Amino acid sequence: MSGRTPGEQVTIADVARHAGVAASTVSYVLSGKRTISATTRSRVLASVRALGYHPHAGARALASRKANVIALVLPLRTGMQVPVVMRFATAVVTTARRHDHDVLLVTADEGPAGLHRIAGSALVDGVLLMDVELEDSRVPLLRELALPGVLIGHPADSTGLACVDLDFRRAGELCVEHLAAAGHRRVALLGAPAAVYDRGTGFAHRTRAGVRAAAGRLGVDAVTRPCEEGPAAVRHDLEALLADHPDVTGLVVQNESAVGPVLATLPLLGRRVPRDVSVVAICPDELAEQSGLTCVPVPAEEVGRQAVALLMRRLNGEPVPEVTLLEPHLTVRDTSGGTGR
């Protein structure tokens, strides 16, 4: 008889007293960190069974150094397209489960301090970072930590990291190449909200760089502007763009929330799609398909799957490439064609 009150939790100290050994010996038997004699081990395990002792999940994780949990650091910031972001998150969660891992979602925008807190908690085996900036303040710390990590996106300097993303620079180039091939000589990029550019978010800057590079190479005039969220803001930005550049006949949109308002506003401004203005977007293919929109799809599911796969390889001590870029593809639909001017 243990003499314990029914429902009272059995502790490692109780097991030690019952087996007549030190608490550290019980810990070593359960964790396997040290060799214990067969006789002592049998006595400890018999006491564990007799008392009904169950190690705390956190203690088991600490003992094995494996929590079977990964963290997804997804800071919710101004200008983020939450529906798109959640596609990435869903892919991460479902893929992690196939690898017998759960996902801890961290949405606070804490920068390096948040990453340091996660690493020091011993709650996760590795970390995935999203909304990566060109000069991301989290990167230097990630290089120093023993915690394996993968970035969804890539900074200006990816040395010593593991990054995966769509090749957004090439995506911007593809959009301009398509419009140029259809005869458009003046194109514009309506991009992410200004806050996204201001904080140096990689995908937005790389797309803009791709648009400008392809335009320069093909002899196309290109203007680029941020586009704020909400139908009224989108209409304002589109009206301002066309007032300043009335000869624009090709439009690239990289702002999921702006796609619908852009297509609705252009006819109200006397611009028929695609006869007067061709529209190409960089967005989830499901959204584009609903609108008959020519687009470069953002493969959120595939990026999420590859990010988890890379992290699992890192957890197993396998080498991984510093940067994995998915090749973009353009799907032509009803909103693009030759210029009518």
Strand order across the 126-129 sheet:
102-106, 69-73, 126-129, 149-152, 163-166, 323-326
Superfamily of domain 69-166+301-326: Response regulator (3.40.50.2300)
Q: Residue 33 phi/psi, 5° resolution?
A: -75, -25
- Integer Cα distance of 9 and 165 in angstroms: 48
Question: What is the DSSP code (8-state) at residue 78?
Answer: T
Q: In the chain, list all ranges with CATH 3.40.50.2300.
A: 69-166+301-326, 168-298
CATH fit for domain 12-55, picks 3.40.50.720, 3.30.390.50, 1.10.260.40, 3.40.605.10: 1.10.260.40
Task: Give the residue from 108, 2, 92 showing the smallest Cα distance to 47.
Answer: 2
CA angle 29, 119, 306 (to 5 degrees): 100
Token pair, residue 295, equals: 């687009």
Cβ pair 84, 284 in contact under 8 A: yes
Q: What is the pTM of this model?
A: 0.80
Q: What is the mean pLDDT of the chain?
A: 90
pLDDT tens figures, 2-31? 455 544 677 888 889 999 998 888 877 776
Taken in order 128, 134, 140, 143, the sign of the CA dihedral is: positive
- Integer Cα distance of 298 and 33 in angstroms: 46
pLDDT tens figures, 148-168? 999 999 999 999 999 999 999
Superfamily of domain 168-298: Response regulator (3.40.50.2300)
pLDDT tens figures, 224-241? 999 999 999 999 999 999
Q: In the chain, list all ranges with CATH 1.10.260.40.
A: 12-55
